[in-house]
Amino acid sequence: MKPIASIALLLCLISFSAMAEESPKVVPQPTAEPPTVLQPAPEPPKTAEPPKLAEPSQAQQPVKIGYVDLSKIATDSAPGKAASAKMKEKTEKYRSQIAARQKKLENMKKDIESKLPSLTPQQRQAKVKELEKKVGEYQKYVQEAEKAMRKTEGELTESMSKAIQKAADDYGKANGFAVIVPKRDLLYLGDKVDVKDVTEDILKSIR
Protein backbone atom coordinates (compact mmCIF):
# COMPACT_ATOMS: atom_id res chain seq x y z
CA MET A 1 0.00 0.00 0.00
CA LYS A 2 1.11 3.51 -0.76
CA PRO A 3 2.04 5.81 2.17
CA ILE A 4 -0.48 8.53 1.16
CA ALA A 5 -3.32 6.12 1.07
CA SER A 6 -2.36 4.76 4.46
CA ILE A 7 -2.24 8.25 5.97
CA ALA A 8 -5.69 9.11 4.48
CA LEU A 9 -7.24 5.92 5.85
CA LEU A 10 -5.80 6.59 9.28
CA LEU A 11 -7.22 10.14 9.29
CA CYS A 12 -10.63 8.82 8.36
CA LEU A 13 -10.59 6.31 11.25
CA ILE A 14 -9.50 8.99 13.71
CA SER A 15 -12.23 11.35 12.48
CA PHE A 16 -14.90 8.62 12.76
CA SER A 17 -13.80 7.76 16.29
CA ALA A 18 -14.00 11.38 17.33
CA MET A 19 -17.48 11.75 15.91
CA ALA A 20 -18.59 8.66 17.72
CA GLU A 21 -17.29 10.00 21.01
CA GLU A 22 -18.90 13.42 20.52
CA SER A 23 -22.34 12.12 19.55
CA PRO A 24 -24.68 11.92 22.52
CA LYS A 25 -25.27 8.46 23.78
CA VAL A 26 -28.86 7.38 23.60
CA VAL A 27 -29.83 6.19 27.02
CA PRO A 28 -32.71 3.71 26.86
CA GLN A 29 -35.69 5.01 28.81
CA PRO A 30 -37.44 2.62 31.09
CA THR A 31 -40.65 1.33 29.66
CA ALA A 32 -43.61 2.98 31.39
CA GLU A 33 -45.63 0.45 33.36
CA PRO A 34 -49.40 0.57 32.94
CA PRO A 35 -51.11 2.35 35.77
CA THR A 36 -52.22 -0.05 38.51
CA VAL A 37 -55.99 -0.40 38.72
CA LEU A 38 -57.04 -0.16 42.31
CA GLN A 39 -59.35 -2.97 43.33
CA PRO A 40 -62.05 -2.16 45.88
CA ALA A 41 -61.18 -3.41 49.30
CA PRO A 42 -63.19 -6.51 50.21
CA GLU A 43 -66.07 -5.82 52.50
CA PRO A 44 -65.72 -7.29 55.94
CA PRO A 45 -67.97 -10.32 56.49
CA LYS A 46 -71.36 -9.39 57.81
CA THR A 47 -71.91 -10.43 61.34
CA ALA A 48 -75.07 -12.46 61.73
CA GLU A 49 -77.64 -10.39 63.51
CA PRO A 50 -78.87 -11.93 66.75
CA PRO A 51 -82.41 -13.21 66.46
CA LYS A 52 -84.94 -10.70 67.53
CA LEU A 53 -86.87 -11.62 70.59
CA ALA A 54 -90.52 -12.04 69.86
CA GLU A 55 -92.54 -9.29 71.31
CA PRO A 56 -94.80 -10.53 74.07
CA SER A 57 -98.13 -11.27 72.44
CA GLN A 58 -101.35 -10.29 73.98
CA ALA A 59 -103.03 -12.82 76.20
CA GLN A 60 -104.75 -15.40 74.02
CA GLN A 61 -108.46 -15.70 74.29
CA PRO A 62 -109.62 -19.02 75.78
CA VAL A 63 -111.01 -21.55 73.36
CA LYS A 64 -114.79 -21.73 73.59
CA ILE A 65 -116.18 -25.26 73.77
CA GLY A 66 -119.85 -26.10 74.14
CA TYR A 67 -121.42 -29.38 75.14
CA VAL A 68 -124.91 -30.79 74.71
CA ASP A 69 -126.89 -33.26 76.81
CA LEU A 70 -128.33 -35.41 74.01
CA SER A 71 -130.63 -37.38 76.30
CA LYS A 72 -132.30 -34.14 77.43
CA ILE A 73 -132.72 -32.98 73.84
CA ALA A 74 -134.18 -36.35 72.88
CA THR A 75 -136.81 -36.12 75.60
CA ASP A 76 -137.52 -32.37 75.72
CA SER A 77 -137.28 -31.18 72.11
CA ALA A 78 -140.26 -31.20 69.76
CA PRO A 79 -138.59 -33.56 67.25
CA GLY A 80 -137.49 -35.82 70.09
CA LYS A 81 -140.98 -35.98 71.56
CA ALA A 82 -142.48 -36.68 68.14
CA ALA A 83 -139.98 -39.47 67.49
CA SER A 84 -140.62 -40.97 70.91
CA ALA A 85 -144.37 -40.90 70.37
CA LYS A 86 -144.06 -42.57 66.98
CA MET A 87 -141.82 -45.30 68.33
CA LYS A 88 -144.18 -45.90 71.23
CA GLU A 89 -147.15 -46.17 68.87
CA LYS A 90 -145.44 -48.72 66.64
CA THR A 91 -144.09 -50.67 69.58
CA GLU A 92 -147.56 -50.98 71.13
CA LYS A 93 -149.02 -52.04 67.76
CA TYR A 94 -146.51 -54.84 67.21
CA ARG A 95 -146.59 -55.88 70.85
CA SER A 96 -150.38 -56.24 70.72
CA GLN A 97 -150.29 -58.27 67.50
CA ILE A 98 -147.50 -60.51 68.77
CA ALA A 99 -149.37 -61.11 72.03
CA ALA A 100 -152.51 -62.04 70.09
CA ARG A 101 -150.64 -64.52 67.89
CA GLN A 102 -148.88 -66.00 70.89
CA LYS A 103 -152.20 -66.48 72.69
CA LYS A 104 -153.63 -68.18 69.62
CA LEU A 105 -150.70 -70.61 69.52
CA GLU A 106 -151.09 -71.46 73.20
CA ASN A 107 -154.79 -72.20 72.73
CA MET A 108 -154.04 -74.33 69.67
CA LYS A 109 -151.44 -76.30 71.62
CA LYS A 110 -153.84 -76.94 74.50
CA ASP A 111 -156.54 -78.05 72.09
CA ILE A 112 -154.22 -80.55 70.39
CA GLU A 113 -152.98 -81.90 73.71
CA SER A 114 -156.53 -82.46 74.91
CA LYS A 115 -157.42 -84.39 71.75
CA LEU A 116 -154.26 -86.47 71.44
CA PRO A 117 -155.62 -89.54 73.30
CA SER A 118 -158.52 -89.83 70.90
CA LEU A 119 -156.50 -89.26 67.71
CA THR A 120 -154.91 -91.84 65.51
CA PRO A 121 -151.15 -91.68 64.93
CA GLN A 122 -151.74 -90.15 61.52
CA GLN A 123 -154.06 -87.50 63.01
CA ARG A 124 -151.60 -86.71 65.76
CA GLN A 125 -148.83 -86.25 63.22
CA ALA A 126 -151.02 -83.92 61.15
CA LYS A 127 -151.93 -81.84 64.20
CA VAL A 128 -148.26 -81.54 65.23
CA LYS A 129 -147.27 -80.41 61.72
CA GLU A 130 -150.08 -77.85 61.75
CA LEU A 131 -148.87 -76.51 65.10
CA GLU A 132 -145.24 -76.37 63.87
CA LYS A 133 -146.38 -74.39 60.83
CA LYS A 134 -148.19 -71.88 63.02
CA VAL A 135 -145.15 -71.56 65.28
CA GLY A 136 -142.95 -70.86 62.21
CA GLU A 137 -145.36 -68.16 61.02
CA TYR A 138 -145.34 -66.62 64.47
CA GLN A 139 -141.53 -66.52 64.63
CA LYS A 140 -141.35 -65.00 61.15
CA TYR A 141 -143.80 -62.27 62.14
CA VAL A 142 -141.78 -61.45 65.28
CA GLN A 143 -138.60 -61.11 63.18
CA GLU A 144 -140.34 -58.86 60.65
CA ALA A 145 -141.73 -56.71 63.46
CA GLU A 146 -138.27 -56.31 65.00
CA LYS A 147 -136.79 -55.43 61.60
CA ALA A 148 -139.49 -52.81 60.98
CA MET A 149 -138.92 -51.31 64.43
CA ARG A 150 -135.15 -51.04 63.86
CA LYS A 151 -135.75 -49.36 60.50
CA THR A 152 -138.16 -46.83 62.02
CA GLU A 153 -135.79 -46.15 64.91
CA GLY A 154 -132.89 -45.61 62.50
CA GLU A 155 -134.88 -43.14 60.38
CA LEU A 156 -136.03 -41.18 63.42
CA THR A 157 -132.52 -41.12 64.90
CA GLU A 158 -131.03 -39.86 61.62
CA SER A 159 -133.65 -37.14 61.34
CA MET A 160 -133.06 -36.10 64.94
CA SER A 161 -129.28 -36.08 64.48
CA LYS A 162 -129.57 -33.80 61.43
CA ALA A 163 -131.75 -31.37 63.37
CA ILE A 164 -129.28 -31.26 66.28
CA GLN A 165 -126.32 -30.91 63.90
CA LYS A 166 -127.87 -27.95 62.10
CA ALA A 167 -128.82 -26.23 65.35
CA ALA A 168 -125.30 -26.75 66.75
CA ASP A 169 -123.68 -25.44 63.55
CA ASP A 170 -125.80 -22.30 63.48
CA TYR A 171 -125.40 -21.61 67.18
CA GLY A 172 -121.65 -22.34 67.22
CA LYS A 173 -120.88 -20.04 64.27
CA ALA A 174 -123.06 -17.24 65.63
CA ASN A 175 -121.48 -17.34 69.11
CA GLY A 176 -117.81 -18.01 68.33
CA PHE A 177 -117.53 -21.59 69.57
CA ALA A 178 -114.58 -23.66 68.40
CA VAL A 179 -116.49 -26.91 68.85
CA ILE A 180 -119.74 -28.25 70.29
CA VAL A 181 -119.70 -31.87 71.41
CA PRO A 182 -121.95 -34.33 73.25
CA LYS A 183 -121.59 -34.07 77.02
CA ARG A 184 -120.38 -37.67 77.28
CA ASP A 185 -117.30 -36.85 75.17
CA LEU A 186 -115.87 -34.39 77.72
CA LEU A 187 -113.11 -36.38 79.41
CA TYR A 188 -110.50 -33.68 80.02
CA LEU A 189 -110.37 -29.89 79.67
CA GLY A 190 -107.28 -27.68 80.05
CA ASP A 191 -107.02 -24.34 81.84
CA LYS A 192 -107.30 -22.25 78.67
CA VAL A 193 -110.70 -23.60 77.70
CA ASP A 194 -114.00 -21.81 78.19
CA VAL A 195 -116.63 -24.52 78.56
CA LYS A 196 -120.37 -23.92 78.44
CA ASP A 197 -123.45 -26.12 78.58
CA VAL A 198 -125.42 -25.07 75.48
CA THR A 199 -128.18 -27.68 75.79
CA GLU A 200 -130.93 -25.17 76.48
CA ASP A 201 -129.81 -22.90 73.64
CA ILE A 202 -129.79 -25.81 71.21
CA LEU A 203 -133.22 -26.88 72.46
CA LYS A 204 -134.62 -23.45 71.60
CA SER A 205 -133.26 -23.77 68.08
CA ILE A 206 -134.91 -27.10 67.29
CA ARG A 207 -138.26 -26.75 69.03
Bridge partners, 66 (sequence order): 180, 196
pLDDT of residue 35: 47
Q: Give the tens place of pLDDT for each residue, 2-49.
A: 444 444 444 444 444 444 444 444 444 544 454 444 455 555 555 555
pTM here? 0.60
Interatomic CA distance for residues 146 and 175, integer angstroms:
43
pLDDT of 4 reads: 42
pLDDT at 31: 47
The full set of domain ranges for the chain reads 63-206
> How high is the pLDDT of residue 52?
57
What is 63-206's CATH number?
A: 3.30.910.20
Distance CA 112, CA 130 (A): 10
Rounded (to 5) percent helix, strand, coil in the chain: 65, 5, 30
**Which stretches of the chain drop beneath a pLDDT of 70?**
1-59, 207
Look at residue 59 in the predicted model and tell me its pLDDT.
Answer: 57
180, 50 contact by CB (below 8 A): no
